[in-house]
Amino acid sequence: MTSAASEEKMDLEANAMEIRKARESSSIFPPNRGDSIQELAFLDLKYEVENIRPGMEAETLKVLEGVSGQANSGEMLALMGPSGSGKTSLLNVLAQRVPHKSVTGSVFVDGSPLSKSFKRRMGFVFQDDMCLWNLTVRETVMFAAKLRLPQSTPDKEKHERVAELLELLGLSHVADGIIGKEGRRGISGGERKRVSIGVELITSPDVLFLDSSTALSITHVLRTLTRKGMIVVCSIHQPRSNIFSEFDKVLLLSKGNTVYYGSRSTIVKYFEALGLELPPETNSADWILDLTTSSTIVQGGKTLTQAYQQRALGPLSSDMAVPTASTVTKTRDRLKGSGSDKSEWVTSFGYQLKVLLQRQSRQSRGEVFNSVNLTQIFVVALIASAIWWQSENVSDIAGTMFFISIQQAFNGLNTSMRVFPPERGLMIRERSTGSYRVGPYFLAKSTSDIGLYTAAPILYATAVYWCVGLRPEAGAFFTFLLLFMGQVIVGQSIGLLISTSIADIFTAQSFSFVLILSLMLFGGFYVNNNNVPEGLGWLKYLSFLFYGFGGLLHNEFHGREYSCENATGKGLSGLDACATNGSGTVTGQDILDEFGFSNVNVWQNVGILAAMIVGMRFLTYLLMRRFTKTRT
C-alpha cells in the first residue's frame, strides 16, 4: 500500500471515529444505529411532467435531464441554480415525492436501490413552513416525537430528545411561545423554519433534505448535524459567502441540466478554466448564479451545459468525480439491510388517535370559548329572545324554531368548512412520512369538532328556548335539543365534506352559498310543503331542515290546543277551524297539517338526521383518503 493511500485510509478512519464520538455524545443520534447510511448516489436522473393548459394540447416538460451526483456521510451538498432550474424537483425525486412513472435513472443508498424504508430514514424540510399555529414550539416538536418515534420509546426519552433538539436549534428561549399566524403574533420566520427542521430531526434521520434554506443560523445547525454523520442535501438561492463556504459539494443546475458538480472549493477554478474570471470583491456564489441566469458562452462557443458535458477535467478530476454504476456497486455491502422494509407504522391505531385528539384539543383551545364567539352567541340570543319573548303566536313560534335552526346549522357549516383546507397540506406531508393513518386523523378531527363546536350552540338554544316560552316540559325541551343539535352536526358534516372535496376555499364558499339557499327553500318554512310545484317535491327529502324543522314543529304543537286568535297569522289564515268567525280553538295537528307536516314521526326524523351525519362523515373519510394519498 502506498504512503498516500495509507494516509487517506487513516484520515477516513479518524473521520469515522469523530462521527461516532459525536453520535455517542447526543441523545438525538443514539449510538445503537450501526446501520446508518453512508452514501446517497443518483445516476442519470430524468424527470418529465405533463403541462396541461386549457384549450391547448398537453405538452411534456423535461424538468431534469440526466442529473447525477453523490453525497456521503458527514457532507453537505448544495443544489444551486436560478428559479426553474430543477432544484426542488431534484429534491422531490430523491425523497420519493413524485410518481415513479415520471422518473428514469437510479437512486442508490449505500449501493442498494431505494425502498419504502428509506422514507423512515430521511427528513424533508419544505420551503414553506406548515405548523399548527396555536401550538407552542415545544408542543409542535413533542407531538412529532409521539407520532413518529416508536410507540415503545419511553416518554422520558421523548422529552429529553425534544429538549436537546430545542437547545441545538436555538429555540429554548421560545419553547413555550405559540407558532402564530397572520393576525396572531407568534415566533419569527427564522424560528419557524428551525421548528420545521426540528420536526424532521426528531427521528434521527440519516439523510436530511431542505428546500431553499439560506439563513446562517440554520446552516450552522446543518454543519453540526453533518459532524454527527448526517447527509444534508439542501437547495439554496443566492447565499452569502459565509453560508456558501459551509457546504462540501455543489450541484449547479440550469433548466434541468447539470452545469457543475463537484467540490465547493473547486467551482471557481472550474469556471476560470473555461475562460470566465471572478470579478474582484464579488461573492463567488452570486457570480456563478449570474452565469447560469444569463446565456453564458465559454471558450469554443459552447454553453455552460455543453462545456460540462464535454469537460476535460485534468487536475480537477478528483474534485469533480461523477458517480457511475460501477463505483456505486462497490458500496453495496456497506449498509446491510438498508433496503429492507419494516412495518409501515411505528405506532398503533389507538395510540395515533389518542395523540391526534390531544393535538387537536390544544390547537382548538381558545377558538370556541373566546370573547368573540361568546359575544356573538350572546348578542344573537338576546335579539331573538327580545323579538319573540314569551310569544303565543303560532307563526312567530314556528319562525323562531326555523331561525335558530338555520342560524346555528349554517354557522357550523361555515366554521367546519374552513377547518380542513388550511391543514390539507400539513396532513399530506405528515402522511408521506408515515406519521399516522387517515382513520385516526379523521376521527380526531371529526369528534373534536363535534365536541368543541356543539357546546356553544347548546347554550344558545337553551337560552332562546326558555326566553321565547316554548313548551315548558322537560321531555319536550330535551327532544328540542336533540333535534336542534342534529341539525347543527349535519351542518358541520356538510361543511367538512365540502372542505375535503373542494380544495379552493373561495370555490367552496360559492358552492356552499347555493347549497344553503336550496336547503332553506325546501325546509318547509319559506315554501309550504303543500305548495311545492309538482315534480320538485322530492327535493325536500334531501334537506336536513325538512326533517329538523318538521320534528321541532311536531315536538312543540302536537297534542296541544291554541285559540284562533293566536293561531291565525301569516301562512295560517286558511285554518278551517278558524276561518268561519276567527274564534274558538285549533289543535296542534291542524297547525301541522297547515304547514304540510301532517305525518311526522320525531324519532324517525332523528334517525334520518343521524343517518345523514354518519353518511356524510363516511363519505368525507373516503374523500380524505383519496385526496391525501401519497403518489407512487
Instruction: Read off the pLDDT of residues 417-445 as tens digits, 9 standing for 90 and up.
Output: 777 777 888 888 888 788 888 889 988 88
Place of cell 389518542: 354
8 A C-beta contact, residue 225 and residue 232: yes
Residue 366 has pLDDT above 90, yes or no: no
Residues 192-231: tens digit of each pLDDT = 888 999 999 998 888 999 987 667 778 888 888 888 888 9
Least confident of 229-243, 312-326, 332-346: 332-346
What pLDDT does residue 330 have? 56
pLDDT for res 615 = 93
Distance separating alpha carbons of residues 560 and 471, to the nearest angstrom: 10
Name the amino acid, one letter, at 338.
S
Nearest Cα neighbor of 41 from 17, 70, 82 is 70
125 neighbors 192 (Cβ within 8 angstroms): no
CA 320 → CA 69, 78, 249, distances in Å? 10, 14, 9
Among 133, 145, 132, 115, CA closest to 435: 145
User: pLDDT tens for residues 248-258?
Assistant: 999 999 888 99
- Percent of the chain residues topping a pLDDT of 90: 17
Query: What local confidence, expressed as pLDDT, does residue 338 receive?
Result: 41
pLDDT at 351: 92
- Identity (one letter) of the amino acid at 559? G
- pLDDT in the model for residue 571: 47
With a cut of 90, say whether residue 609 has pLDDT above it.
yes
In angstroms, how far is CA 19 from the centroid of its own chain? 35
- 334 pLDDT above the threshold of 50: no
Calculate what percentage of the chain has a pLDDT beyond 70: 82
* 591 vs 352, higher pLDDT: 352
Rounded CA gap, 589 and 303, in Å? 89
Distance CA 278, CA 272 (A): 7
- Total-model pTM: 0.81
pLDDT of 404 strictly over 80 = yes
Specify the higher pLDDT residue, 302 or 116: 302
Q: Amino acid identity of 442?
A: F
What is the model's pLDDT at position 575?
60
Q: Residue 131 in 3-state DSSP?
A: coil
* Local structure of residue 610 (DSSP, 8 states): H
- Cβ(78)–Cβ(218) under 8 Å? no
Residues sharing a CB contact under 8 Å with residue 73, sequence separation 6 or more, in sequence order: 19, 36, 37, 38, 39, 206, 229, 230, 231
Q: Are 213 and 193 in contact (CB under 8 A)?
A: yes
Report whether pLDDT(565) > 80.
no
- 428 versus 260: the higher-pLDDT residue is 260
The mean-pLDDT minimum among 8-22, 388-402, 562-576 falls in: 8-22
* CB neighbour burial string for 120-155, b if at least 16 within 10 angstroms, e if fewer: bbbbbbbeebbbbbbbbbbbbbbbbbbbbbeeeeee
pLDDT average, residue stretch 549-578: 71
Query: With left for phi above 0 and alpha for psi between -120 and 50, is residue 295 left, alpha or beta?
Result: beta
Which pLDDT band, with edges at 50, 70 and 90, does 343 fall under?
low
Pairing of strands 231-235, 207-210: parallel
pLDDT score of 63:
87
Q: Give the least confident one: 342-346, 470-474, 585-589.
A: 342-346
Report the SS3 class of residue 109.
strand
- The answer to whether the beta carbons of residues 135 and 190 sit under 8 Å apart is no
Mean local confidence (pLDDT), 12-32: 54
Rounded to the nearest 10°, the torsion over CA 319, 324, 330, 332 is 110
Please, what is the average pLDDT of the chain?
81
Q: Which of 128-132, 264-268, 314-318 has the lowest mean pLDDT?
A: 314-318
CB 123 within 8 A of CB 200: yes
CB atoms near residue 336 (< 10 Å): 12
pLDDT value for 226: 87
**pLDDT category of residue 30 using cuts at 50, 70 and 90:** low
- DSSP annotation string for 524-535: SSSS-GGGSPTT
Mean pLDDT of 369-388: 79
For residue range 277-332, what is the model confidence (pLDDT) as tens digits?
Answer: 888 888 888 888 888 887 777 777 788 888 888 877 666 666 677 777 777 765 54
Length of the chain: 632
CA-closest candidate to residue 481, choices 615, 602, 613 = 602
For residue 386, the number of C-alpha atoms closer than 13 Å in the C-beta half-sphere is 6
Ranges 7-11, 37-41, 417-421, 535-539: which has the least confidence:
7-11
The β-bridge partners of 64 are 47
Band the pLDDT of 512: cuts 50, 70, 90: confident
Boundaries of every domain in the chain: 1-32, 128-208, 349-558+600-627
Q: Edge-to-edge, what's the strand order for the sheet holding 76-80? A: 122-125, 207-210, 231-235, 76-80, 249-254, 257-263
